[in-house]
């Protein structure tokens, strides 16, 4: 089981690192757009272009900061050991899918088995956290029964 947790964790780290790289590239491109914007006879156009580039840079900087927070959160998740209660780093098998409680990274398939990497603060993460095998809950009209927690 530890091998599966490690693989899920590695794939989540790779996902977050790709987000960090994409945000960094977008910031660089926005900075370049600001520098390349030359003043023309239409002064308002110049200022508008620079402002749009600045807003784009700010948006990507916020994404970069959020991705860095995700990476910090991932680095605090244990990848060894098991628990009977769902917590950060747990793999939870339910009647409606398998979940890895870590960060929101979408669907991950390993050896033909699908897992949803979800944040503990997401709606499903809140419902899963603290639960044990045999527990049941309803989310968005769907019944979930926890089969096992690893």
63 within some domain = yes
DSSP state letter for 111: T
Residues 6 or more apart from 83 whose CB is under 8 A from it? 90, 149
The closest alpha carbon to 18, from 55, 71, 57, belongs to 71
124 within some domain = yes
C-beta of residue 147 within 8 angstroms of C-beta of residue 93: yes
83 within some domain = no
CA–CA dist 63, 74 (Å, integer)? 16
pTM score, whole prediction: 0.87
For residue 102, the enclosing domain spans 91-149
Of 18, 43, 75, at which residue does a domain stop? Answer: 75
12-71 pLDDT, tens per residue? Answer: 999 999 999 999 999 998 888 777 765 444 555 556 777 888 899 999 999 999 999 999
117 within some domain = yes
76-94 pLDDT, tens per residue? Answer: 998 888 889 999 999 999 9
Do residues 14 and 71 share a domain?
yes
């Amino acid at each position: 089981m530890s091998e599966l947790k490690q693989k899920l964790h590695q794939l989540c780290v790779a996902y977050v690192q790709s987000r960090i790289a994409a945000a960094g590239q977008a910031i660089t491109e926005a900075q370049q757009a600001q520098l390349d914007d030359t003043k023309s006879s239409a002064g308002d156009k110049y200022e508008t272009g620079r402002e749009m580039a600045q807003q784009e840079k700010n948006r990507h900087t916020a994404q970069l900061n959020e991705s860095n927070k995700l990476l910090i959160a991932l680095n605090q998740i244990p990848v060894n050991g098991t628990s009977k209660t769902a917590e950060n780093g747990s793999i939870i098998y339910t009647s409606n899918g398998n979940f890895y409680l870590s960060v929101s990274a979408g669907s991950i398939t390993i050896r033909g088995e699908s897992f949803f990497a979800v944040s503990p603060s997401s709606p499903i993460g809140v419902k899963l956290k603290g639960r044990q095998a045999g527990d049941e809950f309803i989310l968005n009209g769907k019944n979930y029964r926890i089969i096992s927690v690893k």
